[in-house]
Amino acid sequence: MATGPSAAPIIQVFGLEGDQTTRAAIRFFKERRAPISFVDLRKRSIAPGELRRFTERLGARAILNEASRAYLDAGLGYLRMDDAAIIERLLHDPGLVRLPLVRRGNEVTVGRAEPTWTAWVKGSGGP
């Protein structure tokens, strides 16, 4: 729990420990002394409700990493998938998730979103 005059919500970073963009996001928040919680998707998969929070705000396609090796190896570029099928794939294969997924309260981002993160850290809540 954050304390002090700027008791902001804890920022959750979902990603893979060895992923460069995930490490950059964690470093971004640590350098600004923002309280974060990191969830390694290889150790603990994202909960369906948590993934739904991201897909409702950003769309399932925004979270699907079409450049990932997992996407290419599975031949998913040849399939037509609706949002439900994409979400099902994302739940079972963290290699398909565009990283990092970052959440602050009800606000979410995917990928590098430093302007939004800066606004969160400054306390304005959005871009």
- Among 61, 124, 108, 109, which residue's Cα sits nearest to residue 89? 61
Q: What is the pLDDT of residue 7?
A: 61
Q: What is the pLDDT along the chain (127 residues), one digit of tens a residue?
A: 444 445 668 999 999 999 999 999 999 999 999 999 999 998 998 999 999 999 999 999 999 999 999 999 999 999 999 999 999 999 999 899 999 999 999 999 999 999 999 999 997 555 5
Amino acid at 30: K
Domain 11-116 bears CATH identifier 3.40.30.10:
yes
Can you give the pLDDT at residue 9? 80
Cα–Cα dist 8/110, whole Å: 20
Q: Name the nearest CA neighbour of 65 among 100, 38, 35.
A: 100
How many angstroms separate the CA atoms of 45 and 9, rounded? 22
Instruction: Classify burial at 65, counting beta carbons within 10 Å of its beta carbon; exposed 0-12, middle 13-18, buried 19 or more.
Output: middle
Residue 123 pLDDT: 79
- The CA distance from 14 to 26, in Å, is 10
pTM of the model: 0.85
